[in-house]
Every structure is written in structure tokens, then in C-alpha cells.
Amino acid sequence: MPMNYAKTALLLVVMTAIFVAMGAVIGGQSGMVAAFLAALVMNAVSLWNADGIVLRMFKAREVDAQSAPQLYGIVAELAQRAELPMPRVFVIDNPQPNAFATGRSPSRSAVAASTGLLDMLSPEEVAGVMAHELAHIKNRDTLTMTVAATIGGAISMMAQYLQFGLLFGGNHRNRNGNGLGWIGMLVAMIAAPFAATLVQMAISRSREYSADRLGAMICGNPMWLASALAKIHTYATRIRNDPAERVPAMAHLFIINPLTGRGVDSWFTTHPSTENRIAELEKLAQEFAQGQDNRNTTVADGDGNTTVADGDGNTTVADGDGGLSRPRGPWSAGLTPRGDTRGQGPWG
């Protein structure tokens, strides 16, 4: 945890320096001072309330057990399994399937899922996605991710301002004699990609692999997350996410890159290859299966009944007529008679 705070502090210092330098280009010494004061306020807000900024930017609305019982129930069960405080749960009205986590600590955290994700994914796949986001919270990735998103977004917007200044006022000089022309163009061309590189360095791609692995352990089935990643990747490249496109520095927050990959978007490729992530989850599923095979003991009697005892001391009996069905998720209360929907977890 101390290393995470050190990385966040370094990120704040370097990105503040870039922001101040861009202020100097726009307004000379007075612009530099103004940018420095703005950066101080922005840093304080980022550390204290960046999660609120991000959620408002994507117009997320908070839900509870009454307004979104299925999603809220899934998150509640997963948080309990992960031994985490219950995060706030939000829904984003966006057709692109995606999700993210935010917050400065596990005690002040939130998870958000788009309406597209809830419409297109099965309950098991939603559980895999939410488990991934809770893994980010448990690993305390969300502080650095949220700070990087807030300040990186401000730098990107300033770079866009400089580009517009070049297009519509390239020969204009302010009172201090500082031109927005070629200097502004160079800053817009160099600072924005450099800021994106900082985001990539701060939001290491290894965080996604780590969250995938821990998320699979939390939900109990790596293939739920693998299936979800494949679906989200397919639709995310086809369905535009306008809020994310406007501020590409926010892209690293999402479980799958929400950008379409055109123009400036390619600078913010903070996610590993989806194919590689799925391959790692498939390997993990094999490890789970091998471990389960090694731990289970199966005994069949002469009447066609089968008893399976696992390493946790649980015993399941299935008769030869197939009168019991498999549980449908990690929260099923053991095997239940076919047609009985009790104990199947929050997705029913």
C-alpha cells in the first residue's frame, strides 16, 4: 500500500509540472501561476473526490437493492466473498457494454456498469466483470487510476484548447508576447501524448492481469470473466462511447478500452490484448479444474448413486435418476431438485 501512495504522489508531481508548463505556453508567467494554482486545487479534489468527478462525467446514477436488485445482489455477494466493504453501485446509461471501479480506498469505492453491459451479458458474465472491478478495489488500484483519469483528462482538454488556438488564432499573441502558433502546436502535439504515456506507466497493464486473476478467484469461475471480455471487446469496437471519446485519458478506468481506436485514441491503449487476457483466464480455469480433480473423492455405490466429497469437507449425493441438478453459481445453496429455483444466487 505505501508503494501505491508513492506512485500516486509521483504521478501528481509530474502531471502537475506538465499542466503548469502548458499554462506558461498559453499565458506566459501569469498563465503559469494560474495553472499552478488550478493544479493545486485539482490535485486536492482528485485525492478527495475524484470518484465523484468521474461518476458525474459519465452521468452514472446510483442504484440500490430496490432499483437494481439483480446487479446490487451480485455485487453484494461478491464483496462479501472478497471481504470488502460494500461499494456504492452505479449504472451508466450507455449502449456500449463496459464497467469500471473508482474511489480512493476500499471504504470509499464504487463500481459502475453500463446498461449495454447489463443488457448483453448473462448474469454469470456480469458477476465475472464485477469481480474484476472489486479486485481493483481490493488491490487498491483505484486511487492511482482515478487520479490519473482526472488530471490526465485536464491535460488532454488543455491540449485540445491549444490545437483550437492554433487553428483559429495561430498568429495571435497575448499581452506577454507569447504566441500560440507553432509553440502551441508543438505543445499540443507533444504534451498530450506524453501525458498519455504517463497514464500508461502509472496504470500498468499488469494491473489488468492481476485483477483478472483475483476477480476469477472471487467469482469462482475464470470462464465467466473470459466470456464477458470476449463479448465486451466485440461490441466496444462497434458501439461508440461518446463521453470516453471526449476524454480519452479516462479509458484506462474501464475493463475494456472504450475507445474506437481512431486518431488520438491509440495513444491511450492502456489495456493488454483481450486475446491474451482470455488465454490467461483459460489457463487459470485449467488450474482450477486440476486442483479440483486432485481434491475431490468420488465413490459410486451399487445402486447407481454417486457421492462426491471435496477438499472443503462438503459432500454431494446424486442419484442414478439425475434427480438433482448442478448449482448455477457460487451462491447456490448446494444441489437442488430440478425445477426448484431456491438458492440459485442473486441472478435466480
pLDDT in tens, 40-66: 787 777 667 767 888 998 999 999 999
Reply yes or no on whether the pLDDT at 263 is more than 70: no
Q: Which residue has the higher pLDDT, 333 or 203?
A: 203
Specify the pairing of strand 297-300 against strand 108-114.
unpaired
Residue 334 is assigned to a structural domain of this protein: yes
First vs last Cα of the chain: how many Å apart? 38
Predicted confidence band at 334 (pLDDT cuts at 50, 70, 90)?
very low
Residue 152 is assigned to a structural domain of this protein: yes
274 and 137, same domain (yes or no)? yes
275 and 309, same domain (yes or no)? no
Residue 288 is assigned to a structural domain of this protein: no
How does DSSP assign 21-54, residue by residue? HHHHHHHHHHHHHHHHHHHHHHHHHHHHHHHHHH
74 and 177, same domain (yes or no)? yes
Residue 287 is assigned to a structural domain of this protein: no
Domain boundary among 280, 307, 322: 280
210 and 311, same domain (yes or no)? no
Instruction: Supply the pLDDT for residue 318.
Output: 43
Mean pLDDT of the chain: 75
Domain boundary among 226, 254, 280: 280
List, for residues 64-88, the tens digit of each pLDDT value.
999 999 999 999 999 999 999 999 9
Q: Of 104-113, 238-247, 287-296, 305-314, which range is least confident? A: 305-314
86 and 45, same domain (yes or no)? yes
Q: Of 208-222, 261-275, 293-307, which range is least confident? A: 293-307
133 labelled catalytic: yes
316 and 211, same domain (yes or no)? no
Predicted confidence band at 143 (pLDDT cuts at 50, 70, 90)?
confident
Q: Of 15-19, 168-172, 174-178, 230-234, which range is least confident? A: 174-178
245 and 308, same domain (yes or no)? no
Residue of 77, 133, 208, 280 marked active site? 133
Instruction: Supply the pLDDT for residue 20.
Output: 80
List, for residues 74-125, the tens digit of each pLDDT value.
999 999 999 999 999 999 999 999 999 998 889 999 999 999 999 999 999 9
Domain total in the chain = 2
Instruction: Supply the pLDDT for residue 184.
Output: 61
348 and 253, same domain (yes or no)? no
319 and 235, same domain (yes or no)? no
**This prediction's pTM:** 0.71
Residue 226 is assigned to a structural domain of this protein: yes
Residue 289 is assigned to a structural domain of this protein: no
Residue 345 is assigned to a structural domain of this protein: yes
259 and 317, same domain (yes or no)? no
270 and 305, same domain (yes or no)? no
Domain containing 327: what range?
A: 296-348
Report which residue type is found at 209: Y
Predicted confidence band at 346 (pLDDT cuts at 50, 70, 90)?
very low
Q: How many CB atoms are located within 10 Å of the residue 61 CB? A: 12
Which of 213, 203, 208 lies closest to 255 in space, CA to CA? 208
169 and 264, same domain (yes or no)? yes
Residue 291 is assigned to a structural domain of this protein: no
Predicted confidence band at 198 (pLDDT cuts at 50, 70, 90)?
low
Which of 65, 87, 68 lies closest to 131 in space, CA to CA? 87
Mean pLDDT across 306-333 = 41
Domain boundary among 250, 280, 310: 280
Instruction: Supply the pLDDT for residue 275.
Output: 95
